[in-house]
Amino acid sequence: MLTLSEIWIYPVKSLGGISLTEAHAEPRGLRYDRRWMLTDENGRFFTQREIPEMALLGTAIDDSALHIFWKNRPTEKIRVPLEYEAGELPETEVQVWDDTCLARVLPAHINNWLSAALKQKVQLVYMPDSTRRQTDLAYTSEGEHVSFADGYPYLIIGQASLDALNERLDTPLPMNRFRPNFVFTGGTPHEEDAWTDFSIGTTRFRGVKPCARCSITTTDQDTATRAAEPLKTLATYRNTGKKILFGQNVILTGGDGVVRRGTKLSYE
């Protein structure tokens, strides 16, 4: 039996994630997932690829605010309200890979705190509901949208896939290296690669393409240090077309929109 064992959101792209027992699945991703992002003054996005120390900043959400804090010093934090008055936040154009879309710039005191924390000039931007960022039309349909995630609304990985990798490594790695939204137990390593239509409870999804992995997977999410693994080992058995694949990119196709940890997964 396949069972949903973990649910994760990453409110700010490339910052720490939040483990949830249940979440609302929406067309552009889980609610609050990657709706904020750090950019330079020209709107070009930052990730751990350029600033590995972003891994050291954690996130939390309550009813009124997003909180960003140092993982090892959680009292040092900044509060980001979830709602602002209409027109309060200036609009700007931002770039995520080859995509350009509109976002809202958060106030100066928030950006100053983040810039000081990361020792680099950054600004925090938010994707409002009115913004539409199209997913890759080579794999999805017109009208499928995504947040500030790299390319697709969801990422799912089987625990068996990580276990198979860790059997090949001298030092096992945690799942957080791969930053999935969903983790499931049961089944065989990498069976998610072949999934098309599947369900988590009554919420329906579709796998669209295996996920090509980058240097973020080599960044320790607790120390921000980098090493050769897991890409070095994955390259020996998960290299397809010069891309190292691990996990499956996913879109939402229907259902009640609520997913809960411990729910059964099924696929066609």
Taking only the tens place, the pLDDT of each residue in 200-216 is 999 999 999 999 999 99
Residues 260 and 268: their CA atoms lie apart, in Å, by 20
Average pLDDT over residues 159-180: 98
Position 255 scores a pLDDT of 86
Tokens of 249: 């990119």
- Global confidence as pTM: 0.97
Name the pLDDT band for 138 (thresholds 50, 70, 90). very high
Position 256 scores a pLDDT of 82
Query: Class of 2-29+141-267 per CATH?
Result: mainly beta
pLDDT digits (tens, 9 = 90+) for 176-197: 999 999 999 999 999 999 999 9
Q: Which of 188, 186, 157 has its CA nearest to residue 173?
A: 157
Q: Is residue 268's pLDDT more than 80? A: no
Tokens of 27: 């067309």
Position 100 scores a pLDDT of 97
Average pLDDT over residues 74-96: 95
Q: Is residue 74's pLDDT more than 90? A: no
Average pLDDT over residues 49-74: 96
Every domain of the chain and the residues it spans: 2-29+141-267, 33-126
Position 211 scores a pLDDT of 98
Q: Is residue 155's pLDDT more than 90? A: yes
Average pLDDT over residues 239-250: 96
Position 86 scores a pLDDT of 84
The side-by-side arrangement of strands in the sheet containing 29-30 is 29-30, 22-26, 258-260
Q: Is residue 9's pLDDT more than 90? A: yes
Residue 218 contacts residue 226 (beta carbons within 8 Å): yes
Residues 133 and 83: their CA atoms lie apart, in Å, by 21
pLDDT digits (tens, 9 = 90+) for 17-33: 999 999 999 999 999 99
pLDDT digits (tens, 9 = 90+) for 220-242: 999 999 999 999 999 999 999 99
Position 46 scores a pLDDT of 98
